């Protein structure tokens, strides 16, 4: 089945720890995106990548990092610099101006 997978579904972070969220797509899409969702806030763009080995900061990139070594994969690292990481994280990929979303990862702080 074609689609976007995100893992894990739930992730727990200890204070001072870096954690990495996985996003994989087999839709052959060039562009991929990471959004953060907080209750009552809608979605906000963290990072995006339009092509392999290139990525751009979104509106709230501070405390996050990404890589794009393969077309299929766009992992997001939440670093210890992100002081309020508790949120629902959504990955998307895009073809012909339309973004399709994965099922999300919920990050919680211990």
Partner 1 sequence: AQSVTQPDIHITVSEGASLELRCNYSYGATPYLFWYVQSPGQGLQLLLKYFSGDTLVQGIKGFEAEFKRSQSSFNLRKPSVHWSDAAEYFCAVGASGGGADGLTFGKGTHLIIQP
Sign of the C-alpha dihedral, residues 47, 55, 29, 70?
Answer: negative
Which member of 71, 79, 100, 109 binds partner 1 (CB under 8 A)? Answer: 100
Sign of the C-alpha dihedral, residues 76, 104, 88, 86?
Answer: negative
Chain residues 9-28 in contact with partner 1, contact rule CB under 8 A:
none
Nearest one of 109, 61, 65 to 87, comparing CA atoms: 109
Per rule CB under 8 A, is residue 2 in the interface with partner 1?
no
Where do contacts with partner 1 occur on this chain (CB under 8 A)?
4, 6, 31, 33, 35, 40-45, 48, 50, 56, 58-59, 90, 92, 94, 96-104, 106
């Amino acid at each position: 089945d074609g689609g976007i997978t995100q893992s894990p579904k739930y992730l727990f972070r200890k204070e001072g720890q870096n954690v990495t969220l996985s996003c994989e797509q087999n839709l052959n899409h060039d562009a991929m995106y990471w959004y953060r969702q907080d209750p009552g806030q809608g979605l906000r763009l963290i990072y995006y990548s339009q092509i392999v080995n290139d990525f751009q900061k979104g509106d709230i990139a501070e405390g996050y990092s990404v890589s794009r070594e393969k077309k299929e994969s766009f992992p997001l690292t939440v670093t210890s610099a992100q002081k309020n990481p508790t949120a629902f994280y959504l990955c998307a990929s895009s073809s012909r101006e339309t973004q399709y979303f994965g099922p999300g990862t919920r990050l919680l702080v211990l």
